[in-house]
């Protein structure tokens, strides 16, 4: 199994769609807006100075509204789209500079992709779809088939190996898409709105399938979504795109606690804060209370509130990863934080998360 060990480093990446994008990079660098480029030069700014380090073995979510450049960004990682300027480094190599052969081998061996509209091969059975990546690499048919069958079974499609994609429901088709990508056993897994076409129930189901798999596979996953709950549920880290620019990146908790601007705040309005924020960010450091409840510092506010009410107390002590006491929280503060940001008592994030 190929555990991911290399970060992906995206540096100063620009993409300007249009016949003469290269000549406009300087204008964009000097701050010309997307609208101005569009109206004066009929070019579309897809990405604007994107810098992002995607840590090996983690799930990096990229979020943004429709047209913000999410698909454009993810397609630069396997260079389905050629950048106008910038670099994408992986394992000491710049993907942007690779020759066609290098690029093909990189795609075959290091990446796999899951698509929003599934993009299965309609003329191939589930099994043949799943072996596609290995067929392309000219692996012996028998080995490819064994590996494919393992993943088909893993995503819960036993018995459908010989069905054609059109005979399956949407959720099942996306499982095929996932199995096809996983069979490639690549370090990097690119998922462009992979679950967006699914109905809510199947969607959460697929999210847990993905999280279960990731717990053991530890791939570097780039996951695109425009759904905040999905982003917070899956993302080790989240980057938010707007008009091709990354306007904030960090953990879900960091973003929920400290939205960089009103645009992001408006995104976060409906978020279940109690489901994202952990007690360490709201505890009073060093304080010790007389209470039967002791919680690890990574406990979510919802769980903390439930624990306190269950024990009929309004305080809880907090311990760090090693079990040492680090502070305490009150029920009132916990509930207040779940409802709305508390402006009166500023918590320094760096301090809190440290």
Partner 1 sequence: MDLIDFPSMSRGDLRGLRMAIDSGFRDFTRAYGETLENIFHPIQVLLVFIENLLIDTPWVIVMAALAALVWLLSRSWKIVLGSVISLCLIGYFGMWDDTMSTIAMVAVCTLIAVVLGIPIGILMARSDRANALITPILDMMQTMPSFVYLIPVVMIFGLGKVPGVIAVVIYAIPPIIRLTNLGIRQVPADVLEAAEAFGSSGGQKLRDVQLPLALPTIMAGVNQTIMMSLAMVVVASMIGVKGLGQPVLQAINNQYFTLGVMNGLAIVAIAIIFDRSTQAYGKRLQKHLEAVHG
Ligand X SMILES: Nc1ncnc2c1ncn2[C@@H]1O[C@H](COP(=O)(O)OP(=O)(O)OP(=O)(O)O)[C@@H](O)[C@H]1O
The nearer residue to Mg ion, 71 or 214, going by C-beta atoms, is 71
Do 14 and 48 meet the contact criterion of CB atoms below 8 Å apart?
Answer: yes
Q: Which of 65, 164, 209, 294 binds partner 1 (CB under 8 A)?
A: 164
Instruction: Using alpha carbons only, give the angle 302, 308, 310 rounded to the nearest 5 degrees.
Output: 100
Which lies closer to partner 1 via its Cβ, residue 134 or residue 326?
A: 134
Cβ distance to ligand X smaller for residue 64 or 133: 64
Residue 119 binds which entry of ligand X, partner 1, Mg ion, none, CB below 5-8 Å type-dependent: partner 1
CA distance 224 to 154: 23
Interacting residue ranges for Mg ion, rule: CB under 5 A: 71
DSSP state letters, 218-261: --EEEEEES-HHHHHHH-SEEEEEETTEEEEEE-HHHHHHS-SS
Q: Burial of 64 by CB count in 10 Å (0-12 exposed, 13-18 middle, 19+ buried)?
A: buried
Contact present, 59 and 8 (Cβ < 8 Å)? no
Name the CA dihedral angle for 13, 18, 21, 25, rounded to a multiple of 10 degrees.
Answer: -60
CB-nearer residue toward partner 1: 131 or 225: 131
Tell me which of 29, 38, 40, 104 binds partner 1, using CB under 8 A: 104
Return the number of the residue (82 or 91) whose C-beta is nearest ligand X. 82
Among partner 1, ligand X, Mg ion, none, what binds residue 226 when CB lies within 5 to 8 Å by partner kind? Answer: ligand X
Question: Which chain residues interact with ligand X by CB under 6 A?
Answer: 17, 44, 46, 64, 66-72, 226
Beta bridge partners of 240: 63, 248
Compute the least distance from the CB of residue 80 to ligand X, in Å: 11
Q: Which residue of the chain is nearest Mg ion when measured via CB?
A: 71
Contacting partner 1 within 236-295 (CB under 8 A)? none
Nearest to 327 by CA among 273, 291, 302: 291
Chain residues in the site for partner 1 (CB under 8 A): 78, 80, 104-109, 111-113, 115, 117, 119-123, 132-133, 135-137, 164, 166-170, 184, 190
């Amino acid at each position: 199994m190929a555990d991911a060990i290399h970060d992906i480093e995206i540096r100063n990446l620009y993409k300007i769609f249009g016949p003469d994008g290269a000549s406009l990079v300087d204008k964009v660098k000097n701050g010309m807006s997307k609208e101005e480029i569009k109206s004066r030069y009929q070019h579309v700014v897809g990405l604007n100075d994107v810098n992002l380090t995607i840590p090996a073995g983690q799930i990096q979510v990229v979020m943004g509204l429709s047209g913000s450049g999410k698909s454009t960004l993810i397609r630069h990682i396997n260079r389905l789209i050629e950048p106008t300027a910038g670099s994408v480094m992986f394992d000491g190599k710049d993907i942007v500079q690779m020759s066609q052969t290098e690029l093909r081998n990189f795609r075959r061996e290091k990446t796999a992709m899951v698509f929003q509209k599934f993009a299965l091969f309609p003329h191939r059975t589930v099994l043949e779809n799943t072996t596609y990546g290995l067929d392309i690499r000219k692996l012996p048919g028998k080995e490819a088939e064994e590996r494919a069958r393992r993943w088909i079974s893993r995503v819960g499609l036993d018995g459908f190996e010989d069905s054609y994609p059109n005979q399956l429901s949407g959720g099942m088709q996306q499982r095929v898409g996932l199995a096809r990508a996983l069979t490639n056993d690549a370090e990097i897994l690119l998922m462009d709105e992979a679950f967006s076409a699914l109905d809510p129930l199947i969607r959460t189901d697929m999210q847990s399938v993905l999280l279960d798999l990731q717990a053991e596979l530890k791939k570097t996953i780039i996951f695109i979504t425009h759904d905040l709950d999905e982003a917070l549920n899956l993302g080790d880290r989240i980057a938010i795109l707007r008009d091709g620019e990354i306007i904030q990146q960090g953990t879900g908790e960091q973003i929920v606690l400290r939205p960089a601007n009103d645009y992001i705040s408006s995104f976060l309005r409906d978020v279940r804060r109690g489901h994202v924020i952990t007690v360490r960010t709201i505890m009073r450091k060093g304080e010790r209370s007389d209470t039967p409840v002791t919680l690890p510092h990574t406990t979510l506010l919802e769980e903390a509130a439930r624990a306190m009410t269950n024990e009929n107390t309004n305080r809880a002590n907090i311990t760090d990863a090693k079990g040492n006491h680090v502070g305490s929280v009150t029920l009132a503060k916990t509930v207040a934080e779940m409802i709305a940001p508390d402006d009166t008592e500023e918590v320094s994030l760096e301090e809190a998360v440290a």
